[in-house]
Chain A
């Protein structure tokens, strides 16, 4: 895994619009192996694919997302209803299963994808990226910034894309080792269990506040937004629905907590498999200088990994199992990724580019190995210099 080293100022984003193409020499060997015109041709092929899908969007996509929304709402009503009778073990188990599934669908196939603007073209306020909020601790508007802007624009760029380690974990060799990273596996487990809060606090950037790189004044309003949302979530999951169950409040509360926990572990698993299996590349800020659209596509491809599975698995992972397609085309409806995956793979093959995919066991195993390995100090004497 070779990676670039130097640092420079961020690039001018509008350089990615067509007509402003200016090739830069990349220190990433995969990118450096391609000529500027090849990169441009690669970008054009992906642009053409995107245009083809866009032109085809219609009733089928609208019907699909409405069907999923209806399923999610039904599961939520069923789950919450059953958990009112949580003292009966089958009702408790069924309720937790239904509510966890509902929350997973709400967060992944619906929330994540709708908030990407995948269904904005429908002009339906209920499915509009700007209005949507989801059933997690993270306020939708903050997510749109930390995820859509920072993570998707600067994917896997160390020091910019905060999804690399969430400011908690050491997920890349180039993050300098510190003794606290001995707790990497423990921290990862904690992050997985409380994943919704990890995501929610993403934009507060606690690590940078503590390091003195960000002022409390900047962080405070963000934190207040999170607190407001968290309060509403707690009120619903841990006060009102339990209280409605009267003497059986404890069962309802435990059921709701379990559903949240299941959703947290599941979304952590899927999301970490998207960017951290072996061979997924990270980039230095220098990669951003004069980045063209073709380059940007390349970085998205090299920084993402897919998970193989059946139809149900893809729906339950919000089609983030097609992380490569999602990163290339973040605003195409997720259920379309499966249909274009083979074509994307074929295009990559023609340009000699890798297409990182594998089973859930393989990809997640690889992530766990990385979390464990990076807990330890690097064996080489040449410690990378902190940015």
Chain B
């Protein structure tokens, strides 16, 4: 209620130069946030309104975004920020409901990964009323503006989420064209959206559904034969695939063979390179300084020393880990703290480059 009150003129007033000057140097958001994060003048926040469990190890969160949310196209994802143990983490999740949901809510569906930090946290700790941070919707994995060709959708496991958004959007829009879904799951209990899929496909005469249970008898991984009866001519269809890397790679290979790669759209949930993590006891890997577009072979010294050797001038001060002048964003890779020997996580985070050495490939935003 207050959130909708804050729209329009009040929002403009809060964003005005006067208010900015009155709240300097912090800015008005820093005065709103501690009381209600949803009131932010420019950040997207969403409040969890309801929670359902499509399977035992997945959770669908329906959320009401604040007024900064600009909407999305079915198939797109958001970067979700949650705080776990005091540390802010960011992960991508595809939006799983139709583009224009009747209640104005948006939905993500998160499958708990083994030893997965954020996915396990959301499965265990998400509560109605919880407020999380969001980015605007991103991604190119979307339907063509006008769907004319047959659609061939292929999903594996949690990769069903963006495809579910497409199906729900098409069904709501009365799309009656030719459409098939090939959906890989481990077993019956693992089938996210099982009931709703049966219902949706049952109501559409031109829609065909095939679910393959890879871990049950008769199940197998993607093969060309699985498309039989679903699509007449793959090369003439719009193809969408989302799921484990192996599934995406297999479908891509088939499309390459048939020469229809240009009609293939794919969404990867994990990075392609499955290169083994570097051995912390050897010096290896490459340093990538993305903003300045420089590369260097890792020689084991501190990242600050190596950045300087590569001709960069990152900010620095004490060079011994106490002043935090040299803090910069690591976008990927593992680093070792030269003081304690502790290894970092592999995700995106701020690090002090004067006391960090690379363990394998490391990408820095400098």
Contact = CB atoms under 8 A, between A and B. Distances in A.
Interface of A: 13-14, 16-18, 47, 51, 54, 57-63, 66, 69-70, 73-74, 76-77, 116-117, 120-124, 126, 128-130, 133-135, 140, 144-145, 148-149, 152-153, 229, 232-233, 235-236, 240-241, 293, 296, 330-331
Interface string B311-335: 0000001111111110100000000
B35 A70 contact: yes
Nearest to B88: A123
Contacts of B88: 122-124
Nearest to B342: A51
Contacts of A232: 21, 24-25
A124 B85 CA distance: 13
Given A240-B18, A240-B21, A126 B338 contact: no
Given A144-B324, A331-B324, A120 B350 contact: yes
Interface stretch (B26-34, B57-65, B219-227, B247-255): B26-34
A153 B34 contact: no
Contact of A120 (B33, B318, B327, B339): B327
A59 B125 CA distance: 14
A250 B22 CA distance: 17
Contacts of B276: none
A126 B24 CA distance: 14
Interface residues of B, number: 37
A134 B24 CA distance: 9
Interface string B328-360: 000000000011101000000110100100000
Most chain B C-beta atoms within 10 Å of own C-beta, residue among A18, A73, A76: A73
Nearest to A154: B318
Majority secondary structure of chain B interface residues (helix, strand, loop or mixed): loop
A236 B24 contact: yes
Contact of A233 (B24, B30, B35): B24
Contacts of B89: 123
Given A117-B324, A241-B22, A331-B322, A145 B317 contact: yes
Interface of B: 18, 21-22, 24-26, 30-31, 33-35, 83, 85-89, 302, 305, 317-325, 327, 338-340, 342, 349-350, 352, 355
Majority secondary structure of chain A interface residues (helix, strand, loop or mixed): helix
A116 B87 contact: no
B339 A17 contact: yes
Considering the complex of A and B, which 5 residue pairs feature the smallest CB-CB distances, nearest first?
A62-B86, A117-B324, A149-B317, A148-B323, A70-B34
A279 B85 CA distance: 41
Contacts of B30: 69, 73, 126
B88 to A, nearest CB: 4
B323 A18 contact: no
Contacts of A233: 24
Contacts of B324: 116-117, 120, 129-130, 144, 148, 331
17 contacts: A13-B320, A14-B319, A17-B355, A58-B85, A58-B86, A73-B31, A73-B35, A116-B324, A117-B323, A117-B324, A122-B86, A126-B30, A128-B350, A145-B317, A145-B325, A148-B318, A331-B321
A148 B322 contact: yes
A18 B322 contact: no
B21 A153 contact: no
A73 B30 CA distance: 8
B268 to A, nearest CB: 24
Given A144-B317, A144-B325, 20 more contacts: A14-B319, A51-B340, A59-B85, A62-B86, A76-B31, A116-B324, A117-B323, A123-B349, A124-B83, A130-B327, A135-B25, A148-B317, A148-B325, A149-B317, A153-B317, A229-B25, A236-B21, A330-B322, A330-B323, A331-B322
B50 to A, nearest CB: 26
Contact of B320 (A120, A140, A153): A153
Contacts of B24: 232-233, 235-236
B318 A152 contact: yes
B339 A18 contact: yes
Contacts of B87: 58, 62, 121-123
Contacts of A296: 320
A14 B354 CA distance: 9
Contacts of A58: 85-87
Most chain A C-beta atoms within 10 Å of own C-beta, residue among B33, B350, B355: B350
Contacts of B320: 13-14, 16-17, 153, 293, 296
Contacts of A123: 87-89, 349-350
A129 B324 CA distance: 7
A260 B33 CA distance: 25
Nearest to A232: B24
A57 B85 CA distance: 8
B339 to A, nearest CB: 6
Contacts of B352: 117
Given A73-B34, A144-B324, A59 B86 contact: yes
B145 to A, nearest CB: 36
A297 to B, nearest CB: 11
A339 to B, nearest CB: 16
A75 B279 CA distance: 52
Nearest to B90: A123
B306 to A, nearest CB: 13
B260 to A, nearest CB: 42
Contact of A153 (B33, B85, B318): B318
A149 B322 CA distance: 8
A140 to B, nearest CB: 8
A17 B22 contact: no
A257 to B, nearest CB: 17
Nearest to A12: B319
Contacts of A54: 340
B315 to A, nearest CB: 9
Contacts of B21: 232, 235-236, 240
B299 to A, nearest CB: 15
Given A133-B26, A148-B317, A236-B24, A153 B323 contact: yes
A74 B324 CA distance: 29
B335 to A, nearest CB: 14
A124 B90 CA distance: 11
